[in-house]
Structure 1
Amino acid sequence: MSDNRLPDWNEVAQAADRLALASTPAELHGALCGWLAAGGADAPDWLAQVLANPDLPAPQPGDALDRLHGASLAQLDDPALGFELLLPETDVLARAEALFAWCRGFLGGFGLAVQGKALSDEGQEALRDLASLASAQVAENDDGSDEQALVEIEEYLRMAVLLLHADCVLAPRHRQRLH
């Protein structure tokens, strides 16, 4: 399995810029995680599939996007629940905006790969919550006291993504082993 550490935000941003991607690192990671959580193919051309652009090249082995893919896949399958969101190490407002963008990316990637898979009631609720966060906006008058709230939302998102991954990937994988 791959290294579980996500590449640095700036490395992912530079790789996305080189390919002229319209996605921020948060949106790109969210889309990738949505794709993987819904059971999307783990393939070398994942970038083209996740961003629904067949003209995009496959990431080069070992580059930031390849490492982002490998780490995300490993984190989603981590029995110790070591899944993380790729967010910038900046002020609370920038982190909140990136978190909302991450959610928008997740919904796009998830929607491309889910293909009618049945979700548990908890999974459906988690998806609704992700949609609410995806449409949220940062209040400009924030005084920084929302740091704890942001940490709690990020933790909730981690668990929601792992729940959706369990519904769409782990449960079918487990059922296959039983048969």
Structure 2
Amino acid sequence: MAYQVLNSIFVRHDADQGAAEAHGIAVGMLCIDIRAKAVNWMGELFQKDVSLTEEEKNILESIFEQTRRLLDGDDEQFAFDLLLPGDDEALPERVEALRCWCQGFLFGIGYAKATSVWPGECGEIMRDIVEFTKMDSDAGGEEDENDFVEIHEYLRSAVLLIRDQMATDSDEQTRH
């Protein structure tokens, strides 16, 4: 439901990205800085001349804040998920959304951290995510469906690992 609601806002305002990519941007920004501001995220999503309604701003801010809580909460960390079309949508659409989510995530990471030095396993994960942006959305069949589910689960875990390692790295830099 949240996917369609968010996507309709982007379609209505002729934005350059959809819900999946926008969520990826938010997650990337929040993995680097859990205190990132929703207003900065929205500024990246829409041109300066776009006038969002109060309801649209509230929806966007709500999704951003919910993402922050899910990334920041220890007891809820397995509740975090990528914002993608539901299983009732065709596999090619879900694969394309996953590819766009990865592009957004990389953009969000780059927006918040201008370095290529990554702590722990983050460098390898980032290379994997770059590869996922090259996925062919022309998918079908049970094997492709299984691959999609596997990549989706990998990304859920990878995001939490990146978030934890970035927070640890940030804490260590603060102490030195």
- The alpha-carbon deviation at position 135 of structure 1 amounts to 1.6
Deviation at 1:11, TM superposition (A): 0.8
SS at match of 2:121: helix
Greater helix share, 1 or 2? 2
How high is the sequence identity, in percent, across the aligned residues? 27
- What does the per-residue CA deviation read over 1:71-119, in whole Å, with 9 as the maximum and x for residues that have no partner? 1101111214221000101122211111111001111111111133742
The offset of 1:59, in angstroms, is 8.1
Distance in 1, Cα, partners of 2:59 & 2:94: 21
Q: Are residues 1:74 and 2:61 paired?
A: no
Between the aligned partners of 2:115 and 2:43, the Cα distance in structure 1 is 18
Q: Does 1:32 align with 2:26?
A: yes
Q: Residue 4 of structure 1 corresponds to which residue in structure 2?
A: none
Question: How far is 1:121 from its partner?
Answer: 3.5
Task: For residue 164 of structure 1, report the CA deviation from its aligned partner.
Answer: 1.5
Gaps of 5+ in 2: none
Q: How does 1:1-179 map to 2 (within 5 A)?
A: 8-39=2-33, 42-51=36-45, 60=54, 63-80=58-75, 81=77, 82-89=79-86, 90-116=89-115, 118-140=117-139, 142-173=140-171, 176=174
Q: Given the superposition, is the C-alpha separation of residues 59 and 137 from structure 1 closer, same or farther in structure 2, using an over 3 Å criterion?
A: farther
The DSSP-based 3-state class of the residue aligned with 1:161 is: helix
Normalised by the length of structure 2, the TM-score is 0.81
Measure the CA separation in 2 of the matches of 1:160 and 1:78: 16
Do 1:100 and 1:133's aligned partners in 2 also have CA atoms closer than 8 Å? yes
Q: Contact (CA 8 Å) 2:11, 2:18: kept in 1 or not? A: no
Runs of 4+ in 1 over 4 A off after TM superposition: 52-62, 173-176
**Secondary structure of 1:45's match?**
helix
Aligned length: 171
Q: Following TM superposition, by how much is the alpha carbon of 1:138 offset from its aligned partner in structure 2, in angstroms? A: 2.1
